[in-house]
Structure 1
């Protein structure tokens, strides 16, 4: 018959093995999710983590804070007369290579909509922007008004279509706080999406949110239900 001490040791060993197994399974699940997302969702648009928030994002003061600008993320918004800009903000080190992209849903009324991007931050040139800049910061403006044939993109998982208007990679000249802004010239209004970052990163919790994400993205793109 085993002693109480031996039974305790056996129990601890079993608990340790169960903990190890749970950690291993979590790692495997995380790896499988990343593989499935990258394989099935496409590596260009939905590989971005969607940003859904009620924040106004209409000024530097209300800008949506991005914790990791290297992780691919996208925000869907509509430019209107009352909300003429969409502001994101993040901090980054000097020489950080920032990938940014802007596009619009494939909707007939948006075929001539040409929103622009502006990167605002320390050490950037003083490009003209149609709105006041935070004090002491410069700006680099990326216009899309010359784009005649946007790049068509079909996202398989959400069954949505987009016109990609412009993609840029910018090496940041200084460390500090930056802003990425989407805006429209000439009083144009319409829906757009603005993205930054390239590194795909999804958690187990993200998998649970995918059905809701898909529904919201389809609604934004005005996908007709069969």
Structure 2
């Protein structure tokens, strides 16, 4: 019983530690959103999101000569924080996309400046570029080495490229545009908001997010190793659970003992044995073995009847003394006593 209690406590403690780790990872990483799950490949569909103050990370792959757009509802006097990083992968050292924010209340563009962008602005909207973005008139690639950034929970590596920190002057719909003036494409991460929060959904799905990020960064070794280890642990737990379940079915039912205050149940009296059946000895056995008088019940023997005096024999039980052996040649023994009417005594008795 104690082993089961300690086992349950250990299991719940281990589960709590795992959930705390998942919560910390999900909070630090933010709400990771893969744009390919919401955008058709090869299109320029706008991805809309709510609450721009909460940290969100959009993982996307910029297509050559095709900007990516994001939209959100901004409130007046709210501060918006946006950062654009590129993934630290082979072949992306010189990939530096630009970041633009346009919406109501922002500085308007002249018609000449408008023609330099690969997108058009809605009427009444102004544009704000990041301070690190390439100037509109510049056509060469930047040569400075960007700052390196490593995310500890997901082991993700980035190059810090662009950032915007601005206070919105009006309420309305604002758009973010990620583009490249040189027609290059590559993978990037768009960070929106600066308040890390993680709900139950982000906490429970953090292992899936961790695996997807490693595959997104083309790091196949760690997620494959983690999946193998988790699979072995699951198989081991299922084996132990099945083994304990089999033992519980094979164990006999526990004996039930009375409580100390309750009297013990009286034993059930044993049934009386059946009396031994005895048979009377045969004629041959009686000549060789005579049983004791205590072994057999007492039986009263009926004396022989006197056939010569049937009336007396019927009313009186008298033991007849033994007589000498009869003469077989005697006519009386052969036919019985002769009467006056010429019939013998036996003939009269059996005459119809």
TM range (shorter): 0.7 to 0.9
Q: 1:149 to 1:42 in 2, by over 3 A?
A: farther
Q: Quick check: which has more Rg, 1 or 2?
A: 2
Is residue 78 of structure 1 aligned with residue 41 of structure 2? no
Q: 1:161 to 1:147 in 2, by over 3 A?
A: same
Higher relative contact order (CA 8 A, sep 6+): 1
Is residue 214 of structure 1 aligned with residue 202 of structure 2? no
Q: Does the CA contact (< 8 Å) of 1:102 and 1:194 recur in 2?
A: yes
Distance 2:156 2:27 in 1: 12
Taking structure 1 as the reference length, the TM-score comes to: 0.74
Following TM superposition, by how much is the alpha carbon of 1:159 offset from its aligned partner in structure 2, in angstroms?
1.4
> Which of the numbers 75, 86, 107 marks the counterpart of 1:104?
86
Q: Which secondary structure does the structure 1 equivalent of 2:161 belong to? A: strand
Q: Does the CA contact (< 8 Å) of 1:41 and 1:155 recur in 2?
A: no
CA distances 1:74-129 after superposition (whole Å, capped 9, x unpaired): 111111137x2221111111121000000111112000001011101001113443
| Number of aligned residue pairs | 188
* Equivalences for residues 160-179 of structure 1 within 5 A: 160-179=156-175
Taking structure 2 as the reference length, the TM-score comes to: 0.49
Segments of 5+ residues of structure 1 without an aligned counterpart are 1-28
Segments of 5+ residues of structure 2 without an aligned counterpart are 1-15, 135-140, 223-352
Q: Does the CA contact (< 8 Å) of 1:41 and 1:156 recur in 2?
A: no
Q: 1:106 to 1:133 in 2, by over 3 A?
A: same
Distance 2:215 2:221 in 1: 10
Instruction: Give the aligned partner of residue 345 of structure 2.
Output: none
Distance 2:150 2:27 in 1: 9
Q: 1:146 to 1:97 in 2, by over 3 A?
A: farther
Q: Does the CA contact (< 8 Å) of 1:118 and 1:139 recur in 2?
A: yes
Distance 2:103 2:85 in 1: 22
- Structure with a larger share of its residues in helix: 2
What root-mean-square deviation, in Å, do the aligned CA atoms of Structure 1 and Structure 2 show?
Answer: 2.5
Following TM superposition, by how much is the alpha carbon of 1:73 offset from its aligned partner in structure 2, in angstroms?
0.4
Instruction: Give the aligned partner of residue 139 of structure 1.
Output: 127
Following TM superposition, by how much is the alpha carbon of 1:224 offset from its aligned partner in structure 2, in angstroms?
4.0
- Structure with a larger share of its residues in strand: 1
Following TM superposition, by how much is the alpha carbon of 1:225 offset from its aligned partner in structure 2, in angstroms?
0.9
